Structure 1
Amino acid sequence: MHGEYKVPGGKLVVADLELTDGKLTNVRIAGDFFLEPDSALDDINGAIEGLPRESTAEEIAAAVQAALPSDAQLLGFSPEAIAVTVRRAIAQAASWRDYDWQIIHGEPQHPAMQLALDEVLTNAVGEGTRKPTLRIWEWASPAIIIGSFQSLRNEVDRANAEKYGVTVVRRISGGGAMFVEPESAITYSLYVPGELVQGLSFADSYAFLDEWVLDALKALGIDAFYKPLNDISSPAGKIGGAAQKRLGSGAVLHHVTMSYDMDAEKMVRVLRIGREKLSDKGTASAQKRVDPLRSQTGLSRQEVISKMLDTFVALHGGTRSEVTPEEYAKAEQLAAEKFSTEAWLKRVP
């Protein structure tokens, strides 16, 4: 069995092992990490050898930590990363390069259609009618997108939203509200088979699925990093946030919105951002809560997107694709019957 895990901001860890009578045997940990002393690698392998197949990531990490000498130095990885890699090997998790990635960067869509496309395309991947896909969104109109479990009245000033021509919609994933305008944000979705995140905790899967975009931002000169659970940040402030939904089809929807050039004053007029939440984020005012990509790169929005796509293809491969007529028709119906309705929007009043 073989498993790999690229530590967010760190190194690649590889695990090769066998199963004998329900025990982990012939364990070999490798990677491009740094480890001192050399003999600690034998300690790591020995700690995992003989563990039950059902061992959790926490149990594997604890066994590795206990076996390490007191002077051991692990650079670019950790006992927790080793445990994740072993669990991915046991689960026979797929890697990015196992798939023929499709890349969609289509025409602007209205908010309800964007959300409908997310659900339709994720299900298509789960049902095997579409290959794993990265989609870059283009917005046709301003929108507030609230999380699946958020209270509409607590999050949105609907009178001001109507005044400014901002459509309010509810997505199927959890997380917080977002305010976007055409050309003000960069939003993308990944529609991935569940096998890609096998062996990862729900929390670990966030950083795993966004590692490529951190690489792209770093190549643009931004010292980007992941701030658990789901924020992409930098020393200058928050850049964006991610959300996920696991569908019954077996596929995972992972989508991210990053601010490019946000109208912060309008945002605080249409969103009811509470002082407690801002304080929790360590910011003094809503106007400074999200740091735009434009101010950190000096590049156009399309130049940033181009760098993102180039990075994704270099790391994982990718072929340009389009939404099929059948997928588009399903999304139009879903947008009309679900995402455009007051019943769905007010599912949490």
Structure 2
Amino acid sequence: MREKWAFLENTPQDAAINMALDEALLHWHQKGEIPPTLRFYRWNKPTLSIGYFQKVDGKIDLQGIKKHQCQLVRRMTGGSAVLHDDELTYSIVISEEHEKVASSIRQAYYDLSKGIVRAYQLLGIEVDHAHEPSSKGRSNICFEQPAFYELVANGKKISGNAQIRKRGILLQHGSIPLSMKVEMLFDLFQFPADQMKERKKQRFYERATTINAELGEKPSYERVRNAFQQGFSEVLNIELEPITLTEEQWKEVYQIAESNYSEKSIKGAVSHV
């Protein structure tokens, strides 16, 4: 018998709301108010999300953020910066005690990512796990190099994922790009010289890919969304039941957004990192 999970899919939202909703889901599951939950979401403006411990000063080009009218938000998870634009973003909240959650972070990544692997297969894209980390050290840009158990297609990174465990609950979220505006992406970072920026940009094209690039066509968002919903359902052996947030739940999300993810809070974070 399939376990029943909640499924939440909301319209494209502001960056602060998107991050606050992930945090709220973690809190609600910890309090037993919702079952394990899979969420799909999108962004109403291009957004650069930076890892919780990632430096901003000397790394992120705030003029580039302004130039491209991007939003900037600091995630509750770690890792490198991700440009969210033409993509499907997912999140999963589930108890650390759940039988599907391994105690090892790497193994949990691997197990939960099997649904993503299946989704790519349904779209006609063969992917594999990157079992060996890069020897070049951490990059400021997420898709520049894969980490353990992240997914690659034809040797190029095709999805980025991050995970946090808090109050006994695991939250994993990830970026599934349909396409990627590489020129915009590199305008959002600082480089010592233009020549270095161009070299790194060219290497990026060799190391990162997207759904559109691998298929050689532009599938509809609905086709991609359906594949990922089916992929998670099949591999995790779950039945997804759509939920709708109550007015009180939305109020809580807005409060979290204002206190933890608003433009004011980001400016404060930028000035202290």
Report the TM-score when normalising by structure 1.
0.65
1:153, CA displacement in angstroms?
2.0
1:343, CA displacement in angstroms?
5.6
Within the alignment, does 1:346 sit opposite 2:270 as a pair?
yes
The structure 1 residue matched to 2:14, chosen from 110, 129, 152, is 110
The structure 2 residue matched to 1:242, chosen from 139, 149, 161, is 161
CA-to-aligned-CA distance 1:21-69 (integer Å, 9 cap, x gap) = xxxxxxxxxxxxxxxxxxxxxxxxxxxxxxxxxxxxxxxxxxxxxxxxx
For the 8 Å contact 2:186–2:201, the answer to whether it is kept is no
Structure 1 199/311 Cα, relative in aligned 2: closer, same or farther at 3 Å? closer
The structure 2 residue matched to 1:286, chosen from 178, 192, 204, is 204
Partner of 2:214: 296
Give the distance between the partners of 1:305 and 1:114, measured in 2 at CA.
17
Provide the aligned C-alpha RMSD in A.
2.4
Structure 1 345/195 Cα, relative in aligned 2: closer, same or farther at 3 Å? same
The count of residues paired between Structure 1 and Structure 2 equals: 245
Structure 1 312/237 Cα, relative in aligned 2: closer, same or farther at 3 Å? same
Within the alignment, does 1:140 sit opposite 2:60 as a pair?
no
SS in 1 for 2:158: strand
Give the distance between the partners of 1:254 and 1:343, measured in 2 at CA.
26
Structure 1 321/167 Cα, relative in aligned 2: closer, same or farther at 3 Å? same
1:230, CA displacement in angstroms?
4.9
Partner of 1:30: none
SS in 2 for 1:229: coil
Structure 1 207/283 Cα, relative in aligned 2: closer, same or farther at 3 Å? farther
Q: How does 1:214-253 map to 2 (within 5 A)?
A: 214-227=117-130, 228-248=147-167, 250-253=168-171
Structure 1 176/205 Cα, relative in aligned 2: closer, same or farther at 3 Å? same
1:331, CA displacement in angstroms?
1.1
Give the distance between the partners of 2:248 and 2:149, measured in 1 at CA.
32
1:154, CA displacement in angstroms?
3.9
Structure 1 194/168 Cα, relative in aligned 2: closer, same or farther at 3 Å? same
1:287, CA displacement in angstroms?
3.7
Partner of 1:50: none
CA-to-aligned-CA distance 1:226-263 (integer Å, 9 cap, x gap) = 22425221115111111011112x21110010221111
For the 8 Å contact 2:118–2:232, the answer to whether it is kept is no
The structure 2 residue matched to 1:270, chosen from 178, 185, 188, is 188
Structure 1 236/116 Cα, relative in aligned 2: closer, same or farther at 3 Å? same
Give the distance between the partners of 2:191 and 2:80, measured in 1 at CA.
10
For the 8 Å contact 1:150–1:348, the answer to whether it is kept is no
1:139, CA displacement in angstroms?
0.8
Partner of 1:151: 55
Partner of 1:161: 65
Give the distance between the partners of 1:323 and 1:272, measured in 2 at CA.
40
Partner of 1:307: 227
Structure 1 273/239 Cα, relative in aligned 2: closer, same or farther at 3 Å? farther
Give the distance between the partners of 2:51 and 2:175, measured in 1 at CA.
13
Unaligned ranges ≥5, structure 2: 131-146
1:295, CA displacement in angstroms?
1.9
CA-to-aligned-CA distance 1:136-172 (integer Å, 9 cap, x gap) = 0121111100000000124311011011101111011
1:198, CA displacement in angstroms?
4.7
Letter of the structure 1 residue corresponding to residue 241 of structure 2: T
Partner of 2:107: 204
Within the alignment, does 1:186 sit opposite 2:88 as a pair?
yes
Unaligned ranges ≥5, structure 1: 1-95
For the 8 Å contact 1:145–1:171, the answer to whether it is kept is yes
SS in 2 for 1:265: helix
CA-to-aligned-CA distance 1:256-292 (integer Å, 9 cap, x gap) = 10221111111111134799xx9xxx99523444201
Give the distance between the partners of 2:271 and 2:173, measured in 1 at CA.
21
Structure 1 305/344 Cα, relative in aligned 2: closer, same or farther at 3 Å? farther
For the 8 Å contact 2:102–2:108, the answer to whether it is kept is no
Larger Rg: 1
The structure 2 residue matched to 1:131, chosen from 35, 53, 61, is 35
SS in 2 for 1:267: helix
Give the distance between the partners of 1:273 and 1:325, measured in 2 at CA.
45
Give the distance between the partners of 1:348 and 1:293, measured in 2 at CA.
37
For the 8 Å contact 1:265–1:287, the answer to whether it is kept is no
Instruction: Give aligned-pair identity as a percent.
Output: 24
Report the TM-score when normalising by structure 2.
0.82
For the 8 Å contact 1:173–1:243, the answer to whether it is kept is yes
Q: Which has the higher contact order (CA 8 A, sep 6+)?
A: 2
Structure 1 190/347 Cα, relative in aligned 2: closer, same or farther at 3 Å? farther
Give the distance between the partners of 1:130 and 1:328, measured in 2 at CA.
14
Partner of 2:177: 259
For the 8 Å contact 1:149–1:348, the answer to whether it is kept is no
